Structure 1
């Protein structure tokens, strides 16, 4: 845990502090991208290439950040992406702390199937908060089905299907330090909702993934649940159209935080292509990857996202201060979004227009 004297004014402060308090093997696991880590870095750098064009002299005395996701009301358009092993960051509560923080800040949490707390315990901790359940396709279909059924019974509102991970991406830190990423898990750090025969190595999850899964599995998943499906991992218009055709209710534009396939484009760059591909279908589009500032949230909304999701910053908050840290991460970001909205002349998310965010090339072209 961080010292009481440490000051946190932005999300980067939490990361800097967390790096000092976690074992290096844990830091490597949470921070690393695959291969040369181009996509990992590009997710963040790409946001910096977009510029803001505000509306001035507008009454912004009252700002309403609220919206709906799949018919559920949330206080502001930022949620928590599925990330595994929260009790590595926060021994005491893990995902339960994240759920409480997310509920307290009026948002939605996607629980990872590799959670270190049970689905039922997270639901109890969240009280009336909005929870979505992340699943993958395992060789044993009953594992995926069990996750879905338990989430339904616990009151979860949607199923998020990770579709970009038939295998695990290659991370150089694994080769350089065999214990760096697939470290041995302590008893409290294991993925308790997965009956995979895992004893102590997170890497054993990879051996259980189904490499044969196709779009037909989406049809199967729809046949076993009445919950809406959100497909996570889409980065092209063609993929998005496939998602619509197979009955998705939502799309999470994501490149897995740069952890799977290197040299994928940044999600903020591909977002408009996906949005255009599903126009008129009623399918909602969200984004994760590289969001660190309130201006990032605004840029994503202007480029077509209904909401954005964050992953690593929550881990940093948990590492530093547990529940209070996760809550503070969300609170800081929400205040930044509120300030950005005011300075951009928008009183609610419906007033955000595509013309308010342009790529830096816009100014170069205008001088030609």
Structure 2
């Protein structure tokens, strides 16, 4: 079987899908990873039958959403819940995010899976919030996560970015939250390439100055910071930052462009992982980390390095729309029955973009059932007027 795939110039090319099934279909036995802590930031599955609008309340297919989390746990990965991969601030409203946190935390307990959940301020209107309202919003969400039994991830706040006037405002808000956190949290620094509203976070658009403020927050409360997630897509900056962390504070890479080298590390340290790309790469990533557990860095890189081209494609600018490619691959892989997203964001990437994502994933043998992926790709092409 062949597919006729469109080029950006409107011409067609012939593509022959790989016939081999995914080699990473079965959960690997038993023990947790020993060398790295690894989270996959998981997407949500929209309810395709809900009568919704792009700016209306989110409608989630809970069965499919939780089934995908069980899939990740079965391979030994932790789940980072209600993060930007789950469309926080891009269709997923706070009431639905709170329900997602509660349901996923309960599912994690039943499955014996690790889970950490995003704490933000997205119940606020960023342009009208005060610092006191930002603190209160963070506290409300922190309480939901802690009551669920999950670890908290303090996410970057659009409201705080819009309200804070100086680095001291960040020090005050984060200090207040860390003092009251019941358990050590993960601090998340999400760069403006993922969310333009976060430009100037930590009180400065100069990243060196912002880094100093970020480290000042951590240094003041090292016992309350399990680690940091850095999503700046700058490998050297992450390396420099992780070398300045207090003893015992982990660096979780969020760099979807350079993750193999950052996780592998160097003679001065390494990064753990909390990555959106480990949603579609879950089984492959798990296999690679198990190789790293044996000390075989070369085999780890050999397995994971080829996936970087796909990741860079999915996360290319405008990076915030990477979720579309993640959900597209979940549909092709059979993890959900449709290609529909919360807020209608299935339309956020072009057909040529999705076509190339399919080709790259197919070449990596990511699809558990290549024939299903081919059939669904054929359906998408016909829907867009591409004759087969």
Asked whether the two chains share a fold, i.e. TM above 0.5, the reply is no
Q: Please, what TM-score do these two structures have when normalized by structure 1?
A: 0.44
Ranked by relative contact order (alpha carbons within 8 Å, sequence separation 6 or more), the top structure is 1
Q: Please, what TM-score do these two structures have when normalized by structure 2?
A: 0.42
